Amino acid sequence: MQFSSALLENAVNEFSRLPGIGKKTALRLVLHLLKQDPKEVERFSEVIAKMRQEIKFCQRCHNVSDGDICSVCANSMRRQELICVVESIRDVIAIESTQQFSGTYHVLGGVISPLDGIGPDQLTIAALLQRIEKEKTEELIFALSPTIQGDTTIYYIQKKLTGKQVRITTIARGIAFGGELEYADELTLGRSLQNRMPVEKYMNH
């Protein structure tokens, strides 16, 4: 692309660094902003900067939060003894959209993948184990990708909980989401949560 303005080119280059945004889409977004009132564009940039500077991660479950504890963990109406283990914050958002889950979450930050250099120490597994011990958790629901890495992570955590009085389950299989919960439709994801199964049965499939 040829630009008559370095300022325009710099803006396009920055937008194109975002995932899923190519140069043409970036140009369309930048040109849209150029048509807006300067105050609207300023507000837009301030909101993004404020989000990045002030957003926190829940000290309990590692979900995004405006404070030290997220709104899910702070909600007394949620089943605090029930933990749904997910890979990312996107998965929390996907499950919350189903309105079928009344427990809490624990965001691992990924799954165990030795080939990618990701081991248990790079995830929040230790914090999860401490939380289960401290809070007397009744049930742990795994909502991880149905991949080798996801299954390895489930197996690792399950072994760490041997002898603990906690029910360990996983969401039902059959979700066509290509390894990511965010692509599952809300009805299917909600049903898979309701029809969860013991991990032992899942791992033996």
How far apart, in whole angstroms, are the C-alpha atoms of residue 87 and residue 109? 5
pTM of the predicted structure, to 2 decimals: 0.79
Which class is 6-54 in CATH? mainly alpha
Average pLDDT over residues 69-94: 95
| Tokens 């939060």 belong to residue | 65
pLDDT of residue 177: 38
- Note the pLDDT tens digit of each residue in 109-152: 999 999 999 999 999 999 999 999 999 899 999 999 888 899 99
pLDDT of residue 69: 97
Neighbours of 22 (CB within 10 A): 11
pLDDT of residue 2: 84
Indicate whether 178 pLDDT > 90. Answer: no
According to CATH, where is 3.40.1360.10 located in the chain? 75-203
In CATH, what number does 75-203 get? 3.40.1360.10
According to CATH, where is 1.10.8.420 located in the chain? 6-54
How far apart, in whole angstroms, are the C-alpha atoms of residue 18 and residue 11? 12
- Note the pLDDT tens digit of each residue in 14-71: 999 999 999 999 999 999 999 999 999 999 999 999 999 999 999 999 999 999 999 9
